[in-house]
Amino acid sequence: MITIALSEESRLAVKLTVDLKGYCESYKRWRDSRKALEDIDTSGEPRPAVVMVEERRRATQLVEETENAFKQIRAFYTARLSALPGDLHWHEIKNLLSTRCNLLDPGENRLFSFLSGFGSEAGASPLVLESLDCSFVELLKNSMDALLLNYLKNAATEATTTLEMRVALNLAGETLSVAITDNAGGFSAAYLTSFNETIKSRNYNKTHSREKCQYMDYCFGGAGRGLPILVDYIVHGGFSRRPDVFEKIYQVKEGDTSIDIHNTLDAKGAEIIITTPMAPFAAAETENIPLRRIDSASMTSHEDEDEDEASEVVEKEFEVSLPASFVLASPPKPRQVPPLIFLDSKETTAALAISAKALAFIPPGALASGTGAAAEGGASDKKLRLEGDGKRSRQTYELASGAGMELRLFPPTDEVIKRARKTPKPTKSAAMRPRN
């Protein structure tokens, strides 16, 4: 169970609590059963074959039972930490914090408007709040992973199974800081020592993540990119599309922002302090991602440089017929995702390869659903149908009335365009007809 409540320790602070007792104990039973099976297989003790076969059968059955029990519990938490349910935890925190703002104070009145605005446009709020719109749930998952790891290492000393996270705001003039503290065991000494250098070099060390991966199947993450993604966004004003490709989103200069990590004084947890100006940053001066409102578009198609560094740039033109409320943004590189054929309410067809990853830094309100999926938004009451290319099932996305959104649309490859041209013209069946 996840509970969020105002903290009594500070006015602008919220406490999030997650009861992980069943989660931790269930995983430990699964781990212990696997260890028992391994001991049977590696035991050199001479025993009758019949006895060994029976012992192994019982041990294998116990492994299966404990694994299924753990995965059921994990699914419960996963459902509450994925997609929209996961994002809503941070929005509940912001809403609670907004109730503590002194509206008679100009600075806190302004902070109130940032905290209470759900799904505000990108670049319209302090960078620290915008970044946590996307990253807070990942920090929460990291803390859950760390608490379980700490429990496994220190079960004999009755390590806690209740995760406690505290989110506190500090408004000092035109600077806003967010401090996030947990009780999950803290960072390793090596991680703390190398962190500042890691920020500057952006050579992120995944040793901590590899340590988690030795414990099978428990972690939500494990790729080692959760905190680095947040660091990139806060300190460098953008994010990495690939290890060698960094996309600048905002004009963030060195010293404009900061992110500090350390362990708590009682050595039982970690603290992350993120500081940025209250004023939003201006968009980066780049032509890579032009934001423009359009009804038809001319986009540039690039072949994947990883596959062919000498590939040529080819201009492709096609018509995209969309409601006027949609804003299209065209990044420079196509993503390797299944293409989708977009059919609007007028049944105009265009071949677009849409990446959910491109929506990672669009504020909530524009919701991505799965790899290669589109997002919800727009000012129409009609439903737009996304039609697969023959390999993907159809999905219908409801458009939220009055809500604006951004879609990052990637130019299709020649192969996708050929498939699109061969796609039969949609019929006027009830399934394909626009719904009011």
Entry pTM: 0.64
Phi/psi at 292 (5° precision):
-150, 145
For the chain, the distance separating the N- and C-terminal CA atoms, rounded to the nearest angstrom, is 38
Assess whether 64 and 137 both reside in one domain.
Answer: yes
Decide if 386 is inside a domain.
Answer: yes
| Domain-terminating residue out of 277, 306, 330 | 277
DSSP 431: T
Q: How many domains does the chain have?
A: 2
Give the DSSP H/E element, type plus range, for residue 291.
strand 291-292
Assess whether 267 and 168 both reside in one domain.
Answer: yes
The residues of the chain scoring below 70 in pLDDT are 118-123, 156, 203-226, 241-244, 286-436
Assess whether 264 and 312 both reside in one domain.
Answer: no
Decide if 436 is inside a domain.
Answer: no
Phi/psi at 38 (5° precision):
-65, -40
| Domain-terminating residue out of 222, 251, 277 | 277
Residue 3: the pLDDT is 96
Residue 414: the pLDDT is 53
Residue 84: the pLDDT is 82
Assess whether 267 and 338 both reside in one domain.
Answer: no
Assess whether 269 and 306 both reside in one domain.
Answer: no
Structural domain span for residue 178: 2-277
Assess whether 17 and 102 both reside in one domain.
Answer: yes
Assess whether 155 and 91 both reside in one domain.
Answer: yes
Assess whether 88 and 65 both reside in one domain.
Answer: yes
Residue 387: the pLDDT is 34
> Model confidence over 49-87: pLDDT tens digits?
888 899 999 999 999 999 999 999 998 998 888 888 888
| Domain-terminating residue out of 277, 303, 331 | 277
User: Smallest Cα–Cα separation from 352: which of 392, 307, 319?
Assistant: 319
CB count within 10 Å of CB 301 equals 19
Residue 427: the pLDDT is 47
Decide if 435 is inside a domain.
Answer: no
Residue 156: the pLDDT is 65
Q: What are the residues whose beta carbons fall under 8 Å from the beta carbon of 331, sequence distance 6 or more?
A: 241, 247, 288, 289, 358, 408, 410
Assess whether 55 and 144 both reside in one domain.
Answer: yes
Orientation angle between helical segments 83-98 and 127-154, nearest 10 degrees: 110
Residue 203: the pLDDT is 67
Residue 309: the pLDDT is 37
